[in-house]
Structure 1
Amino acid sequence: MTMASTETLRETARPALPPAARKWLLSAPMLLLFALMLLVPLLMTLVLSFNSFDFYKGIGSDLSLANYAEVLGDGYFYEIFGRTFGIALATTLICAAIGVPLAWFLNRMTPFWRSVMVLVVLGPLLISVVVRTLGWAIILGNKGVLNGALMDLGLIERPIRLMYSSGGIVLALVHVMLPYMVLAVWAALQRADASAEAAAESLGARPWTVFRRVVLPQAMPGVLSGSLIVFALSASAFATPAIIGGRRVKVAATAVHDEFMNTLNWPLGAAIAMILLVAIMAVMLTWTRLVEARVGKEYA
């Protein structure tokens, strides 16, 4: 019996796996890594959020909903979560207002200038978050670059308080979140039909009408995905609110950090983190349903 016939018999004798089983087998390493790096820590945080805590005895072994009752029953935490989602919403809206036109111009550039512009857009992501935020602290301070320039020009008489304020946090977050919006919208515009704009222009439509009636509907999938990314990252951001907002403007992420590192009340910090996670997921799912329903009506 030859070598080829032996290999043929082995192949016929070996049971063939169904396509679904092959997909799961190929995905097993990634699923295992995903479970170890994400699901297991989240599960441990969830269990920790039900533990009791005593300032003298530390973390207890008994489980209850006392931590969630404390967070949901205190107006102080409602203020923190309201500020967190207000900052995230403002950051998302500003990024969408700037990112959609920027992605449209990026899509119409020549290859050389498009490459240069992509590097400029990605610039904030290439810098350490701490270095970038400290740079914004220098710009937004009472004696910083921005206030100094406005006072030299005679536009203001006294410094505007941008540090330790929600507005300063929004400005710093927009700087780093804008690339996610631009890249998401640009990817959607690359898949769009370029001839639709030319057809609208040939029919006499004005540039603003073309952008609103042709470009924007085609960019909506990118706006949706970019908005979800920007909102989630902004709501869970820690370094930027901690440095720009300081102790005066507290958000959910800094509240979790304080409970873990200052008061050492890990169960309460875990409960705040889990509520933040559930709230972000609820907002993202609701936003996805609303946008998809509206887009579906426009294309119907």
Structure 2
Amino acid sequence: MSRARSALTPWLLVSPGALLFLALVIVPLVLTVILSFHVYDHGTGIKNEFTFAHYLAVVTDDYYLGIFLRTLRVAALTTLLCALIGVPEAYILARMRDPWRSVFLLVIIGPLLVSVVVRAFGWSMLLGTTGLVNQALQALGLGTVKLLYTETAIVIALVHVMLPFMVIPVWTSLQKLDPSVEAAAWTLGASRFTALRRVVMPQVSMGMLSGSLIVFGLSASAFAIPGLLGGRRLKMAATLVYDEFMHELNWPLGATIAIIVLVANLIIMLAYNRMVEARARRTLG
């Protein structure tokens, strides 16, 4: 009896979280997949008939493919910029001492305490034709530059929002790295750049992988920032799904776009995961 009870204990401990995950993630996802195969009629609405026409229409229409390509481009560029900015920030943060470390960490995670909508409105005021950025450009004699309602504005705001999700995982990886290892590389004649490239970077590759996956996934599915800074004409995948659900009332088509974006994100993230893990395995043995 005691052996059976001990074998059942892990399942009992996991069951509340598993049931919650099933109810909040799996069931809605399955219902969305089923909805994507329903027939939609503009006169009568959703019909209880199944079709593959929505998937065929999305993958063969240049309009939808262009939006998917823009979403991928913005998400990839945001991830790259977050890595270029966030990894040095994490390295500096790991080498700081209290109380400056706490102050710097608060500066990094501080934007997370402000609503994304508020930050998007703030960037819209900064990047507008009469905003501080254009005023500075005019003062330098460069004239007015259209930044608002462009991909540049979306990328800038997304980098501002997503940067903490890159810094924190890399900083956590650096916390596990013994500083004496880097000092030993210096002692053996390695330059600071060589020590960073050969000693530090392989150790933090898993932190970079985690941060990149988080930033890419959140950027590809972002809604508020593309909606406010991209305008009605510069659509991304999330705003397209919103329009199909709320404006066109074509729920099956909106569900189809959402499922395609989800599958594409999973494929890209799994491929990137495999690539980085294989490289880290070769480097670290």
TM-score by length of 2: 0.97
Question: How far apart in 1 are the matches of 2:271 and 2:5?
Answer: 37
Residue 82, structure 1, aligned to residue 52, structure 2: no
Counterpart in the other structure of 1:144: 131
Gaps of 5+ in 2: none
Deviation at 1:18, TM superposition (A): 5.6
Question: How far apart in 1 are the matches of 2:6 and 2:211?
Answer: 33
Question: How far apart in 2 are the matches of 1:37 and 1:111?
Answer: 41
Counterpart in the other structure of 1:245: 230
Aligned pairs (5 A) from 1:31-42: 31-42=18-29
Deviation at 1:138, TM superposition (A): 0.5
Counterpart in the other structure of 1:261: 246
Deviation at 1:66, TM superposition (A): 1.1
Instruction: Specify the structure having the higher radius of gyration (Cα).
Output: 1
Residue type of the alignment partner of 2:45 = G
Q: Secondary structure at the match of 1:205?
A: coil
Q: Secondary structure at the match of 2:222?
A: coil
1:154-210 per-residue CA deviation (whole Å, 9 max, x = no partner) reads 2x12x1111111111000000010001000000111112221110111123222222
Q: Secondary structure at the match of 1:16?
A: helix
Counterpart in the other structure of 1:102: 89
Question: How far apart in 2 are the matches of 1:193 and 1:109?
Answer: 14
Using a 3 Å threshold, how does the CA distance of structure 1 residues 20 and 190 change in structure 2: closer, same or farther? farther
Counterpart in the other structure of 1:54: 41
Using a 3 Å threshold, how does the CA distance of structure 1 residues 285 and 20 change in structure 2: closer, same or farther? farther
| Deviation larger for 81-90 or 208-217 | 208-217
Counterpart in the other structure of 2:153: 168
Q: Secondary structure at the match of 1:246?
A: coil
Deviation at 1:278, TM superposition (A): 0.4
Deviation at 1:21, TM superposition (A): 2.7
Counterpart in the other structure of 1:182: 167
Residue 297, structure 1, aligned to residue 255, structure 2: no
Counterpart in the other structure of 2:192: 207
Question: How far apart in 2 are the matches of 1:199 and 1:94?
Answer: 31
RMSD over aligned Cα, in angstroms?
1.1
Deviation at 1:16, TM superposition (A): 3.5
Counterpart in the other structure of 2:177: 192
Counterpart in the other structure of 1:3: none
Question: How far apart in 2 are the matches of 1:213 and 1:102?
Answer: 19
Using a 3 Å threshold, how does the CA distance of structure 1 residues 99 and 20 change in structure 2: closer, same or farther? farther
Counterpart in the other structure of 1:71: 58
1:259-294 per-residue CA deviation (whole Å, 9 max, x = no partner) reads 001110000000000000000000010000011111
Residue 43, structure 1, aligned to residue 43, structure 2: no
Moved beyond 6 Å, runs of 4+? none
Gaps of 5+ in 1: 1-13
Which of 272, 275, 280 is 1:287 aligned to? 272
Which of 203, 206, 210 is 1:225 aligned to? 210
Deviation at 1:90, TM superposition (A): 0.2
Corresponding pairs, count: 285
Question: How far apart in 2 are the matches of 1:81 and 1:168?
Answer: 18
Question: How far apart in 2 are the matches of 1:274 and 1:117?
Answer: 39
1:118-157 per-residue CA deviation (whole Å, 9 max, x = no partner) reads 1100011110111110000001111111111121132x12
Q: Secondary structure at the match of 2:3?
A: coil
Question: How far apart in 1 are the matches of 2:234 and 2:177?
Answer: 42
Question: How far apart in 1 are the matches of 2:114 and 2:4?
Answer: 47
Deviation at 1:48, TM superposition (A): 0.6
TM-score by length of 1: 0.93
1:38-86 per-residue CA deviation (whole Å, 9 max, x = no partner) reads 1111111111101110110001110111111110111111100000010
